[in-house]
């Protein structure tokens, strides 16, 4: 099967907003009286929509409290982004640019509703044929809807696309949707993303031809 498109997660894949997300979640759950650490972050909130993350931690909380908490978390996160507390992964930018020049159709599929804002802020928005956020689908990751929607918006089927993810919930969503999944493990724990078809530490480690080869081998 020919590779025709690449769907990128945003946070942790294209830009490093993880510290800002972690700090915003930590502030929220401290205010709400719930314990929070890296384990909770990776297991319950990383890669998920805000409401889903809140609900996974604040089990049994009423819907209005969950919605209000999710909005507060978003506000805390945006405060940090406005202060410049993020960075762009240069290896990912180079990979995006190479994919553009090769004529692949590109999309981002992020649980964040701030995806378009962040892409514009870092000068990458015009590289993508479609931008899908968590507010574009009814169910967030690990449900595959967000990736299926992204594939549809670039007029491709899952069998022609690679999904690039760094979160457990995102890898699960990609594989459930029938996509080839390229996992990015920036923490030295590749077993965490064992469901991915291929795992690298950074996109700088992989060129497009190597990805094509792995993609075609998997299909074969």
In the chain, where the domains are located: 5-16+87-219, 18-82
Q: Which tokens go with 197? A: 């078809």
pLDDT in the model for residue 219: 65
Q: Is 213 helix (H, G, I), strand (E, B) or coil?
A: helix
How open is the CA angle 73-79-80, to the nearest 5 degrees?
A: 95
pLDDT in the model for residue 17: 87
How confident is the chain (220 residues) per 10-residue block, as mean pLDDT? 95 90 95 95 88 95 96 93 90 95 96 86 93 88 95 98 94 97 93 94 95 87
> Would you identify the CATH topology of the domain 18-82?
DNA polymerase; domain 1 (1.10.150)
- pTM (global) more than 0.85: no
Query: Using CA atoms, how far apart are residues 91 and 128, in angstroms rounded to an integer?
Result: 17
Query: Using CA atoms, how far apart are residues 164 and 142, in angstroms rounded to an integer?
Result: 14
Region 5-16+87-219: CATH code: 3.40.50.1000
Sign of CA dihedral 169, 175, 178, 181: positive
pLDDT in the model for residue 117: 87
Q: What positions carry a catalytic annotation?
A: 9
The kind and range of the H/E element at 15 are strand 15-16
pLDDT in the model for residue 171: 96
* R_g over Cα of the chain: 17
pLDDT in the model for residue 35: 96
Expressed in angstroms, the distance from the first to the final Cα of the chain is: 8
């Amino acid at each position: 099967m020919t590779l025709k498109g690449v769907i990128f997660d945003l946070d942790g894949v294209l830009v490093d907003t993880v510290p800002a997300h972690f700090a915003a979640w930590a502030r929220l759950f401290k205010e709400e009286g719930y314990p929070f650490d890296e384990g909770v972050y990776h297991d319950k909130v990383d890669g998920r929509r805000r409401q889903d993350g809140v609900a996974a931690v604040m089990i049994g909380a009423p819907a209005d409290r969950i919605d209000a908490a999710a909005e507060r978390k978003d506000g805390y996160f945006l405060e940090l982004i406005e202060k410049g507390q993020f960075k762009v992964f240069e290896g990912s930018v180079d990979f995006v640019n190479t994919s553009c020049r090769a004529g692949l159709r590109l999309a981002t599929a992020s649980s964040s509703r701030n995806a378009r804002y962040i892409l514009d802020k870092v000068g990458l928005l015009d590289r993508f044929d479609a931008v899908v956020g968590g507010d574009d689908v009814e169910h967030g990751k690990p449900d595959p809807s967000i990736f299926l929607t992204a594939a549809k918006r670039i007029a491709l089927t899952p069998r022609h696309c690679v999904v690039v993810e760094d979160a457990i919930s995102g890898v699960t969503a990609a594989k459930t949707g029938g996509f080839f999944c390229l996992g990015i493990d920036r923490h030295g724990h590749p077993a965490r993303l064992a469901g991915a078809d291929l795992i690298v530490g950074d996109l700088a480690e992989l060129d497009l031809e190597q990805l094509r080869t792995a993609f075609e081998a998997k299909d074969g």
